[in-house]
Structure 1
Amino acid sequence: MIVTDVKTFLVDASRKWRGRNWLFVKVYTDEGIEGLGEASGWPSVVEKAIRDLKHVVIGENPFNIERIWQRMLLAFMGHGLTGVVGAGAMTGIEIALWDIVGKALKTPLYNLLGGKCREKVKVYGHAHSVKEALNLVDRGYKALKMGLRSADKVGDIRDAVGEEVDLCIDLHGPPWLTLSDAINLGKRLEKYNLLFIEDPVPPENLDGLAKVKSELETPIAAGERWATIYGFRDLIEREVVDIIQPDMGRVGGITQLKKICGMAEAHFISVAPHDGSNGPVAEAAALHVCTSIPNFLILEHLADDLPLRQEVVTPIEVKDGYMKAPSKPGLGVELDEEVAVKNRPREPNISMPPREAENLYWRMMFRRAKWLNSI
C-alpha cells in the first residue's frame, strides 16, 4: 500500500468568535483506503504547509508512520522543532495515517495504542453564568470551565453546582497579567477548590509558571500552545505544571501525543488535552489517546458548538458527562465532503484585537485598577 494523494478541506467554524476555521485532511492510497485527519495551529496557514508536505508523503507506505513523520520534520526543520504551524501540518497528515492503518487492520485506533485504560472519557463543558452551569449539570456534565470574569461569579457557580462538580478557570496566559497579579488572583480563587487554573501567565514564561505553582495550592495547567516532544520537554522535566494540556490538532500527531503523555507520566503529571477550538476529527483522535493512557485527567469539549459540528463529521454522543472513543476501525468517524465544501471560510482566520490594543501589554495601560477590582 502506498499514499497517492493528500487533500485538505478548510471549513468556516465561526461561532461566538469570528475567524475560527477547521482544517480537515484526507490521505488517499492505491488500495482505496482513505484516512481522515485534522490540523490546527492557524488552519488557513497550515493548509498551505500541508500542500507542500504532501510531496514528502506521496509514494510512502502509510504504515510507516514514524518514518513519514521524521521525513516531514526534516523537510522543514530549518523553521524549528516546536512551532505549532509546522506541527499542525504534520498532525493532520499523521492522524490520517493512523486512520488508514486502523481501517486496514479492521480495528479501532485505541487498540493500536495499547488498548483501553478506561471505557469512557470524562469531559468538561464551558459555563460563564450560573444559568449555563446548571444547564450543563442537568445534562450530566460533572466538570465545567470558565474564563475569569469575576471571582464572585466563580463563587456563585460553586454555590449553585455544589462540590460534586469540578470547576476549572482559564486565565488564557495574557502578557498583560503580571506574575504578582496572577498569584494574587490564584490565591483569591483557592477557597473554591478548583480542579485547575489554566495558563495563569503566558505559558512561554516557564519561570513564571514555576513561581505561580510554588505559591498556590491549586493545580496549574498549561500546554495548548506547545507542540512536539521538544516543545513539552522543559514544561515537563522542570515540573512547572501539575497538568499538561496538549492540543490534538497541533501537538504533532498521535504518536507525539503518546510520547508526551509518557514523559508526563514519569513526572507524575496528568493530561487534560485542550480541544476548545478544534473540530470533531481532532476530538475523535484525542478520545482514542485518552482511552489508552493511564495519566488522563479530563478532556475539553464544546458542549454547545455550532450545529455544523454534527453535520460535517460523524457525531459522537456525550452521555452523563462522558464520551466514548468510536469502536469502528480507525478513528471511527467520516467526513461529509459535500458539507465541508459548502462551508468554506469567508473571512480571515485571525482574532481581531480591539482598537485600543496597541501592543501585547495594552491592559496594563488602560484602567488597570478598575479591571483588577472587577475581577
Structure 2
Amino acid sequence: MKITAIRTVRLPPQPAIGADHPDARRPSWLADGPVANPMTGYPRYAAYRPSWTPTWPMFGCLVEVEDGTVGFAVGQHGRPVAAVIEDFLGPRLIGEDALATERCYDMAVRMCAPFGAAGLASYAISAIDLALWDLKGKVLGQPVYAVLGGPTRDELECYATGGDPDWYAELGFRGVKLPCRYGPADGLDGIRKNVAQVAEARAHVGDDIEIMLDCWMAFDVDYTVRLAEALRPYRVRWLEECLPSADLLSHAELRRRLPWQPLATGEHWFGVAPFQYAVANRLVDILQPDISWVGGITPLKRICAIAEAAGVAVMPHAPGNTAYGQHACLGIVGIGWTEFFVGSPPGVALAEAARAPGVPTPVDGRITPSAAPGFGVEINATELPAFLS
C-alpha cells in the first residue's frame, strides 16, 4: 500500500476556557506566573513563561495511500515544522509502503542528517510517524494499541499536572505534579517559596497522594541539590527536568550528588540516542519521552525496550492528553503512570475542557482509550484547508 501524498492542514479553532466559564471556581494556575523556566534569570521574561515560549500553532499531518485511506496526526510548532514535512520529508516518502513504519521512520531520520534529526525536525518526523500508525490501524480495522500487540492493562491510571492540587484530588487523581515557581535567580527566598508551595499541596492532598515537582530545565546542579534537601519532609516522588536537557554531564553530576532522590527527565530529548545514554550511565530513574516530539511511536517502542531491559521506568510526557499517548501507554509494555496535563480552571469538567474530539478524558483518575480503528480522533481532516497556503 503505497504513500501517494503527505501534506499538512489547518486545524479548526478551539474556544478558550477561562475563569468566565460558569463552572469555574477560580482562574486556572496558567492564568498567571511565575513558573521557573530557562529564562527565569532574565527579568523581561521571568514573570510568565508564555511571554517568550513559541506561539506557532498546531496543525494536522495527513498521509494518504492508493485506496484513499488517510492517516492523521497533530503536529506542533507550526510553519517551521510543516515546512520540513511539505518541502522535504513528505515528497521523499511518497511511493514508500505506508505499513512499513520502521522503514519510513528510519528513512526520515537519515534524511535529516544534513541538519540534524533533533529539535524541530523531530517534531516533523513525529507527525509523519503518528499519521502512519493511524493509517495502519485504519487499514487493519483495529485501534493502534491492538496493532502494537494488544492492551497491556484494562485502563490507564493517571496523575494530574498543574497548579491546582486540591481540584485534582477532588477529581480522583492519585498523584499531582506541581509546576515549580522559582529558580536559582530567586535565591534563598525562591527556595523557601518552592518549599511552601509543596507544603501547601501536601496539606491539601494528604499523605495518600503522590507529589512530584516539574522544574522545566530551570535549575543548575547546586540549586537542585539544595531544593531537594529542603523538600525531604514532604516525600516528593520525583524531581523532573531540573537541568538543561542537552547538558548530560550535569545530569551525571546531579545523580552523583543526589543518590537518594528519584529523578525524571527526557521530554526534550529527541530520538533514541539520549535515552540509551541515560540508561547506560544511570543518569535518571524515570524516562519521559514525549510521543509527539521524540519521533513518534516507532522510537518510543525502542526506548521502552531499552528501559525495560535495564529496569528503568518509562512515564512519557503528557500522554493522557492525546490519543497517540493513550494508545502507546496501553499497548507498550513497560510504561507506567500516565500524565494528564490540566490547564482549565478548577470546577470545569475535564471532558468539557478537552480539545480533541474522540479523545477520552480521565474519570476518577483513569482513562480507557478509544477502541475505534487507528487512534480514534474524530476529525474529518481531508476537508480542512492547507496549512501553508
When normalised by structure 1's length, the TM-score is 0.81
Q: What residue in structure 2 maps to residue 3 of structure 1?
A: 3
Amino acid at match of 1:298: W
> Deviation per CA, 1:83-103, whole angstroms, max 9, x where unpaired?
121121111111111111111
Determine whether 1:148 maps to 2:214: no
Q: What residue in structure 2 maps to residue 46 of structure 1?
A: 81
Amino acid at match of 2:371: S
- Alignment of structure 1 residues 195-234 onto 2, 5 Å: 195-216=237-258, 217-234=260-277
Amino acid at match of 1:5: A
Secondary structure at the aligned position of 1:291 is classed as helix
Amino acid at match of 1:300: E
> Deviation per CA, 1:139-196, whole angstroms, max 9, x where unpaired?
111111112232112011112201221111011112xx33111110111112211221
Contact 1:35 1:100 in 2 (8 A): yes
Q: What residue in structure 2 maps to residue 326 of structure 1?
A: 370
Distance, in Å, in 2 between the alignment partners of 1:185 and 1:213 is: 14
How far is 1:21 from its partner?
A: 2.8
For structure 1, which segment, 290-299 or 6-15, has the greater mean C-alpha deviation from structure 2 after superposition? 6-15
Secondary structure at the aligned position of 1:91 is classed as helix
Count residues with an aligned counterpart: 333
Q: What residue in structure 1 maps to residue 379 of structure 2?
A: 335
Determine whether 1:134 maps to 2:176: no
Contact 1:313 1:336 in 2 (8 A): no
For residue 70 of structure 1, the aligned residue among 83, 98, 106 is 106
Determine whether 1:31 maps to 2:74: no
For residue 300 of structure 1, the aligned residue among 339, 342, 365 is 339
Contact 2:158 2:339 in 1 (8 A): yes
How far is 1:304 from its partner?
A: 3.7
Contact 1:65 1:94 in 2 (8 A): yes
For residue 270 of structure 1, the aligned residue among 309, 313, 316 is 313
**Where does the alignment leave 5 or more consecutive residues of structure 1 unmatched?**
346-375
Q: What residue in structure 1 maps to residue 225 of structure 2?
A: 183
How far is 1:226 from its partner?
A: 0.7
Distance, in Å, in 1 between the alignment partners of 2:265 and 2:196 is: 24
Distance, in Å, in 1 between the alignment partners of 2:269 and 2:105 is: 18
Amino acid at match of 2:272: I
Distance 1:328 1:238, change over 3 A: same
Secondary structure at the aligned position of 1:77 is classed as coil
> Deviation per CA, 1:53-72, whole angstroms, max 9, x where unpaired?
11012222211111112222
Distance, in Å, in 2 between the alignment partners of 1:23 and 1:172 is: 24
Q: What residue in structure 1 maps to residue 58 of structure 2?
A: 22
Secondary structure at the aligned position of 2:230 is classed as helix
Distance, in Å, in 2 between the alignment partners of 1:100 and 1:309 is: 27
Distance, in Å, in 2 between the alignment partners of 1:303 and 1:147 is: 11
For structure 1, which segment, 293-302 or 219-228, has the greater mean C-alpha deviation from structure 2 after superposition? 293-302
Distance, in Å, in 2 between the alignment partners of 1:341 and 1:304 is: 28
Q: What residue in structure 1 maps to residue 217 of structure 2?
A: 173
For residue 91 of structure 1, the aligned residue among 126, 131, 134 is 126
Contact 1:10 1:44 in 2 (8 A): no
For structure 1, which segment, 4-13 or 144-153, has the greater mean C-alpha deviation from structure 2 after superposition? 4-13
How far is 1:238 from its partner?
A: 0.9
How far is 1:127 from its partner?
A: 3.4
Q: What residue in structure 1 maps to residue 190 of structure 2?
A: none
**Where does the alignment leave 5 or more consecutive residues of structure 2 unmatched?**
17-29, 32-49, 182-193, 346-350
Distance, in Å, in 2 between the alignment partners of 1:312 and 1:219 is: 33
Q: What residue in structure 2 maps to residue 369 of structure 1?
A: none
Distance, in Å, in 2 between the alignment partners of 1:9 and 1:334 is: 15
Distance, in Å, in 2 between the alignment partners of 1:309 and 1:137 is: 18
How far is 1:261 from its partner?
A: 0.8
For residue 285 of structure 1, the aligned residue among 324, 328, 338 is 324
Calculate the aligned-residue CA RMSD, in Å. 2.7
How far is 1:5 from its partner?
A: 1.4
Percent same amino acid at aligned positions?
A: 26
Amino acid at match of 1:67: R
Contact 1:25 1:36 in 2 (8 A): yes
Contact 1:312 1:339 in 2 (8 A): no
Q: What residue in structure 2 maps to residue 244 of structure 1?
A: 287
Contact 1:239 1:267 in 2 (8 A): no
Contact 1:49 1:86 in 2 (8 A): yes
Q: What residue in structure 2 maps to residue 363 of structure 1?
A: none
For structure 1, which segment, 114-123 or 18-27, has the greater mean C-alpha deviation from structure 2 after superposition? 18-27
Distance, in Å, in 2 between the alignment partners of 1:65 and 1:55 is: 16
Secondary structure at the aligned position of 1:197 is classed as strand
Amino acid at match of 1:169: L
Q: What residue in structure 2 maps to residue 107 of structure 1?
A: 142
Amino acid at match of 2:373: P
For residue 208 of structure 2, the aligned residue among 164, 175, 191 is 164
